Amino acid sequence: MRPLPPLNALVAFEAVARTGSVGAAAEELFVTPGAISRQLKLLDEFFETNLFERRGRGLALSPSGAAYFERIHAHIEGIRKATAKLQHHENRTVVRVHSHTTFATRWLIPRLSQFQVSHPGIDVHLTTSSEWTPGADCDAAVRLGNGRWAGYEATPLVPNVLVVVCAPSLVQPSRPVDAVWLAQQTLLVVSARPDDWSIWCAQAGFDATAMVRQRIFESSAVAYEAAQDGLGIVAAQEVLIGQELASRRLIAPFDVRVDRGNETYYLVIESSRRQRRSLIALRNALSRTK
């Protein structure tokens, strides 16, 4: 009988190949990125080849890795579906939740952990991505918007307040923090949220067009890390940077907070599913937690 590769390593490989990053795979499997990297190394040693290649700061499948993923993905997905059916048969309910990556890591995952403790008969399977994918195979999703989606019930989860933040090192006691100072900073812009800066500037009374130095990031999480490293200043969602503000890894140089009102994060459930007991329990647990 031919030996199988290490199964934990196989699951880690499939998750990284499917999600496109070590970080996203770690979030999905509820382990650290370091643990994922160690599993990938084990699989490389098993096959005596590299299944991924370095591309800039990220990873991409090598030709052999791509061919292997194509062959095994359907089998692993089949195992997931068979497992979900058996768990349901054994009086366990699986709830599949999809979320934006940054919101999942900074707000949702700790609350899902609490939910699992309170509801041991419900298993939550979380998937993440930088953007919402219409038609995603899930029971509930976290979406950012105005709460109006035809055919869906939307429950607001958090206040969406914009604040401008930066590393303390960018603010000098001898220099005023004003429009001139702001115009000289590097703006960290999130491609999925391109209007945050103009919205904040309009409320604060600053000319957004005067700020020409920019760096663009795909995700808010990376932009927040860059801000902590002193690479620039970012218009952030206050609910997602509470720990950084409390520890003063980030500070708000301007006393301007812009509440986006209905434009916030919602737990979204198809209207046809909203009466499922498991989804009612999930909605009640998350909407109570501000």
pLDDT digits (tens, 9 = 90+) for 72-120: 888 888 888 887 776 555 556 889 999 988 899 899 999 998 898 888 8
* pTM attached to this predicted model: 0.66
pLDDT digits (tens, 9 = 90+) for 23-66: 888 888 878 888 888 999 999 998 899 999 888 777 889 999 89
Domain boundaries, the chain: 7-86, 92-158+263-288, 161-259
- Which residues in 73-110 are b (16+ Cβ under 10 Å) and which e? eeeeeeeeeeebeeeeeeeebbbbbbbbbbbbbbbbbe
232-260: average pLDDT: 95
pLDDT digits (tens, 9 = 90+) for 187-206: 999 988 889 999 999 999 99
115-137: average pLDDT: 79
Class assignment of domain 7-86? Answer: mainly alpha
135-161: average pLDDT: 89
125-144: average pLDDT: 78
Residue 23: CB atoms within 10 Å: 20
Report CA dihedral (238, 243, 246, 247) to the nearest 10 degrees.
-140
**pLDDT at site 290:** 47
- Among 28, 264, 269, smallest CA distance to 140 is for 269
* The CATH number of domain 161-259 is 1.10.645.10: no
Q: Are 7-86 and 161-259 equal in CATH topology?
A: no
CATH homologous superfamily for the domain 92-158+263-288: Periplasmic binding protein-like II (3.40.190.10)
Task: Give the helix/strand (H/E) hosting 190.
Answer: strand 187-190
When pLDDT is cut at 50, 70 and 90, the band that residue 136 belongs to is: low
Half-sphere exposure at residue 53, Cβ-oriented, CA atoms within 13 angstroms? 8
Asked if 263 contacts 160 with a C-beta cutoff of 8 angstroms, the reply is: yes
